[in-house]
Amino acid sequence: MTRVHHVAIPVRDLEKSRAFYVDTLGLAEVRRQEHSIWVQAGDTILMLELQPEWLVALAIEPSEREAWRTKIDVEKETGFTLYTRDPDGNRVALSHYPKASP
């Protein structure tokens, strides 16, 4: 892992948050889902998300997924991401999106 993949920021209103980050700050909207809007901030994605907690996602290669599974307590997973918590209970993700697992 050498970089931040994305940071999820909890928001209450997607459109108001989008207006601030895109229209006011000038970040580019790169993806939209029902529960989130992704904006580009340099090399990092900020995910404006209708959820109650912050999350930092670190980039991994798909080939590293199984090795990471043995090192962390996996709380949840998707086809691209493993989710865990740090010692203080903060959400941390290890993601290889959009690269598929081997």
Domain spans of the chain? 4-95
**Topology of the domain covering 4-95:** 2,3-Dihydroxybiphenyl 1,2-Dioxygenase; domain 1 (3.10.180)
What span, in angstroms and rounded, lies between the C-alpha atoms of 38 and 57? 13
Q: What is the pLDDT of residue 7?
A: 97
pTM summary value:
0.88
Q: What is the pLDDT of residue 101?
A: 85
> Are 6 and 44 a contacting pair, CB within 8 Å?
yes
* Burial (CB count <10 Å: 0-12, 13-18, 19+), residue 82: buried
Spans of the chain below 50 pLDDT: none
What percentage of the chain's residues is helix, strand, coil (to nearest 5)?
Answer: 20, 40, 40
> Are 84 and 92 a contacting pair, CB within 8 Å?
yes
> Are 94 and 66 a contacting pair, CB within 8 Å?
no
Q: What is the pLDDT of residue 2?
A: 75
Phi, psi of 60 (to 5 degrees): -130, 165
